[in-house]
Structure 1
Amino acid sequence: MWLNFGIKDLIDILLVAFFLYQTYKLMKGSGTIAIFSGIVSFLVVWILVSQVLEMRLMGAILDKFISFGFIVLVILFQDEIRRFLFALGSHRGWKKFTNLFSKKEEQGSSHKYIAPVSLACMNMARKKTGALIVIQQDMDLTVYAHTGEIFNADVNARLIENIFFKNSPLHDGAMIIADNRIKAAGCILPVPQHAELPKELGLRHRSGLGMSLETDALVIIVSEERGKISVAHSGKLAVNVSAEELHEILSGEREVVNFS
């Protein structure tokens, strides 16, 4: 068997290892790692019984579980599968490839929101006004926008501050910015059940982290208690972000590094 081992077999093994590693990361981020471990254990037992020991009766029973198990897995992990496929399609390599065919003027115009958003966040942090701002990237956020009040307004620093003013009816929800426009405010974001966050970080940070796990959006959180700015992206949360760091993150010059 080993004499027939070639470069194609090596590529096959590497692809399987990469797939299992990415699946492990996905399950770990969503808090379903225990289920993933159980599935892997079941597959090992199935291979051992059916292929190695060749137990026909037990193997036939496990085969039935495997045939129906695929449908069950799709139902149980539909959100994780959707995020995995989206992450695969929106990988940076694909983005760099598509950016080769885009005009520089179009790329520059997509960052018009950075200055007003940065100014508003710094002002709200100084005044200790809580805020939750979601910046849409590639994934459409219409589903989340419809949980709040729909807007179609220019991104303006004063407007952002007024929406998150303590007496405003929309200050408790999240604002969604898409295509250089304020798309919605007062929106409800998903809250992860297994996120490990410091005790001093509240519901806004948990919601922002949950949104970054569900989508590819960039989420800015302004703490009402501490007057600090945090940014969540791809399941990572950077806390105590400065004005310069916020501007670099929004412009794509700096990546979000998880808190330590």
Structure 2
Amino acid sequence: MKIGFLDIEWVDVLDVLLLAFLLYQIYYLVKGTIASRIFLGYLLVYLLFLVAKAVGLELLTTILGYFISVGALALIIIFQQEIRRFLLIIGKSTNVANSRLFRRWIGQPEVAEPATPLRPIVDACKAMAAEFTGGLVVVGKNDELEKFIQSGDALDAIISKRLLLSIAGQYSPLRDGAVIITDGRVRAARCILPVSDNDELSTTTGFRHRAALGISEVTDAAAVAISEETGRISLAIDGELFPNLSSSELEERLRVYLFEPARARKREGGKDTPVT
């Protein structure tokens, strides 16, 4: 196709569309944050460099040229959190490493269904909510959580309601931090989790809920947070926080996310109303 003096091929159209999509994703990640203002400032400096070069201001062009030459490295350093979030979104959306074809191709055995019983976890969360006892329980799926397990006190115990309640008890030395459960075992307590830096969260969102959201952003684990003030149960999955769940809703969402295939999760996804 020819427009004026330009010859446009379908590859050019695809190139523009992909670039527009990439720029939109970058804008979506940095909008409303201080990073967006930094990025705008960098663009203004670059425009000033182009104007100075066109006009012939040699001294200003030389000074700005030194700044622009290290611009790529500076952007990587400044936007390291945003780049990390972008790569995590891509990795979690494709999820190639967990596909059967990929595992068969590299000769790895398929991952067996998780053996984590949900009933004692749900019963413990229900009891904590009824007693207004704060708690944070992380249930692993496929991703490795060893780094977070090592930040706490190792337990390696069988999952039970009484164990989880004793950990969350008012006078328990293990009540601070998170309990991490993987492969049907309580692996550790008093674990430190990454805190979400999502600027769209309400200012009333507590530290416990931000930690639950943070672990769900960087791994595929599900995190249950029980509010000490309201007794409400919230669930964080894939960087989304679902508040004020009943015990039956909590069990159903955990079962669908941890055990059922992706098709079932998509059917359930239409009912979700995450908090942002």
TM-score over 0.5 for the pair: yes
Q: Deviations over 1:67-112 (max 9, x none)?
A: 312222333333433333233223156478x146789xx7773153
1:125 to 129, 137, 144: 129
Tell me what 2:274 maps to.
258
Tell me what 2:29 maps to.
26
Identity %: 38
Query: Deviation of residue 113 (structure 1)?
Result: 3.5
1:81 to 72, 79, 83: 83
Tell me what 1:10 maps to.
13
Q: Deviations over 1:134-184 (max 9, x none)?
A: 233444333322221123223322221221111111112111223333222
Q: Is the 8 A contact 1:90 1:138 kept in 2?
A: no
2:242 to 217, 238, 242: 238
- Deviating more after overlay: 220-229 vs 73-82: 73-82
* Corresponding residue SS for 2:186: strand
1:208 to 199, 205, 212: 212
Query: Deviation of residue 230 (structure 1)?
Result: 0.7
Query: Deviation of residue 131 (structure 1)?
Result: 0.6
Q: Is the 8 A contact 1:205 1:221 kept in 2?
A: yes
Q: Deviations over 1:228-253 (max 9, x none)?
A: 10112343222101223212321223
2:185 to 165, 181, 186: 181
Q: Is the 8 A contact 1:128 1:224 kept in 2?
A: yes
Equivalent positions of 1:52-131 (< 5 A) are 53=54, 57=58, 58-92=60-94, 94=96, 98-99=99-100, 109-110=113-114, 112-131=116-135
TM-score by length of 1: 0.79
Unaligned runs of 5+ in 2: 105-109, 258-264
Quote the RMSD (CA, aligned, Å): 3.3
Task: Kindly tell me the number of residue pairs found equivalent between the two proteins.
Answer: 255
Q: 1:54 to 1:143 in 2, by over 3 A?
A: farther
Q: Higher Cα Rg: structure 1 or 2?
A: 2
Tell me what 2:261 maps to.
none
Partners of 1:23 and 1:61 in 2: CA distance = 28
* Corresponding residue SS for 2:188: strand
Query: Deviation of residue 125 (structure 1)?
Result: 1.2
Q: Is the 8 A contact 2:213 2:237 kept in 1?
A: yes
